[in-house]
Amino acid sequence: MAGKTTPEARMAVAFSYLFPPLGLVFVFTKLRRDYFLRHHGSQGFAWGVFLLFLWLALQLVVLLTGIIPLLGKIIALLVKVVFFGFFLTSVYFFYLTLRGEKFKIPLVYDILGPK
């Protein structure tokens, strides 16, 4: 659980998984004193950066496979399904943060976490 983090603060930081730039507020302001807020703010921002780079890479794949008529449409559909899955994952992270749980996103936390 989050300890002394208020439900309002948990709700605010949970939105960093849906709107990643919001996470920077919890990293660079006086709210960074609360470990729970700092953890989820930085992890939410890093999650958004990860999704941005993944989206750019997959758009390049769609662009390159788009010259092949049927394959391009199939790949484009698969990319949409993949990103819908990532959206649902973001909503799940939002829910876990609202409940006050501290969790680690494996690849994201390995990059951000303490060395």
Residue 96 tokens read as 């876990």
In a domain, 65, yes or no: yes
Please tell me the pTM assigned to this model.
0.86
Distances (CA, A) of 82 to 5, 51, 93, 109: 33, 11, 17, 21
Backbone angles phi, psi at 77, to 5 degrees: -65, -45
Residue 1 belongs to a domain: no
DSSP the chain: --TT--HHHHHHHHGGGTSGGGGGHHHHSGGGGSHHHHHHHHHHHHHHHHHHHHHHHHHHHHHHHTTSHHHHHHHHHHHHHHHHHHHHHHHHHHHHHHTT-----HHHHHHHS--
Quote the domain boundaries for residue 77: 7-112
Confirm whether 14 is domain-assigned: yes
* pLDDT digits (tens), the chain, 115 positions: 445 788 898 999 999 999 999 998 888 888 888 889 988 999 999 999 999 999 999 999 999 998 988 999 999 999 999 999 999 999 999 999 999 999 999 888 787 765 4
How many domains does the chain divide into?
1
In a domain, 24, yes or no: yes
CA gap 104, 101 in Å, rounded: 10
